[in-house]
Amino acid sequence: MYRNKLLLSSLAVSIALAFSANASAEDSALAQLKAELVKLQQKVAELEAKQLQTDQAVAQNTHTVHVSNDAASTSSNTSHNKRSPQASPQAANSQIKVYTSLRPTYGYYDAQNETSWDVGDALSRVGFKASNEFMPGWQVQMHGEWNVEVANNGDFGKSRLAYVALDSPYGRLAIGKQRPPQYTLVAEYVDIFNHAGSPFGYDPEGLFFVNNLVSYELEFGDFKWMMASQFNGETGDNGSDMFNAGLGYDKGNFHAAVTYLTEPQIMNSLTLGDVDIGDNDTWAGVVAYTFDSGLYVAAAYHDKTYERVLIPSDRSGDMIDFSVGFPLSDHYGVKVGYFAFDDGDNSAASQAFDGYNATLEWLPADNIRFHIEYLTRNYDHLQGGITLC
């Protein structure tokens, strides 16, 4: 439109100059041409007026569109920030995952002058996880997991996990059968071997799963605070039957944690019923680090005190687990460990032992693992054993 306007204006000026130069032309022809010139000038004025109106309309429309978009964006943000707890189920973020892991073993066992070949199991399991975010930052979670007894009939065995949790900006509260803080913060970091008894020093008296458990955890910066208590009204105390708390620290490839566990020891008597004979108190700590080369090193220590009502029967023991893992290539790796268990019993009934193990792994895919392991335990009072599986 601007180009047409300039062209018409130039034409009008040219015609005006041409006619003024020919002043000696006939008056009638001059008058006619002047009239045409006036019409042409009016036409140019009309076109300029229309162009101005068009420019103003475009500017108004553009401004209206921007305002509309801003308003829509503001409305959307306001609605998101003020979402109520009664948000529709269709808008909720729900996820569910079903998983399984079958881990049969075949091994040679040499213990107490007896040898045998046997099919075993490295804790095969099947389970599910589900979560539902019902408002921003608030999520309900469910987790169930059960053993698969590959070493026997392949039946579903006892439950490993069965709990419901509420995760919020103020921490995570869970109720049901769970991992205790002692395992989650400490023992898990030395539990790297393909064996049902791993970690081996922790295994005889350590807690892997606890039923009737109420737990709470809170993360702040690089720290994680956990505490849990068992409430089993059918046995033990009328209140808490166990208390476990711990603090973990994670920074880059480094992990460290310390936990405290206390649990009353109940003896059942036919005449007196449940009798509290004392407490077991355990302090535990772990340090773990992964180097840039892939080398993983972790060491855990548990100091356990067996307090009894009869003072002469008091004793103390400890558990040690030292684990190392190193990748040989993308699909091969080695793991080695040293472990020791001392129950503080100096009699012939002591179960104290120490030992070591070595594992070679082949991982042809992310979800497939083959391994061969050498494991030996040396008991202080019992005859040790060797396992190759």
Round the CA-based radius of gyration of the chain to a whole number and report it. Answer: 40
- Percentage of the chain lying above the pLDDT 90 cut: 57
Q: To 5 degrees, how large is the angle CA 343–CA 182–CA 290?
A: 105
- Local structure of 254: helix, strand or coil: strand
pLDDT at 335 over 50: yes
Whether residue 96 contacts residue 133, with contact meaning beta carbons closer than 8 Å, is answered with no
Handedness of CA 335, 336, 338, 341 (dihedral sign): positive
pTM, two decimal places: 0.73
Is the N-terminal amide bond of 264 cis, ω within 30° of 0? no
pLDDT at 11: 35
The conformation of residue 193, written as its DSSP 8-state character, comes to: S
Q: Give residue for tokens 């620290």.
A: 249
The amino acid occupying position 75 is S
Here the contacts of 152-157 (C-beta below 8 Å, separation 24 or greater) are 156/126
Q: Which of 180, 178, 192 is nearest to 321 (CA)?
A: 192
Please answer whether residues 203 and 191 qualify as being in contact, where contact means their C-beta atoms are separated by less than 8 angstroms. no
Residues 21-55: tens digit of each pLDDT = 444 545 666 677 677 767 777 776 777 677 676 66
Question: With DSSP H G I counted as helix, E B as strand and the rest as coil, what are the percentages for the chain, rounded to 5?
Answer: 25, 50, 25
pLDDT digits (tens, 9 = 90+) for 301-323: 999 999 887 667 788 999 999 99
Q: What is the token pair recorded at 205? A: 């008296």
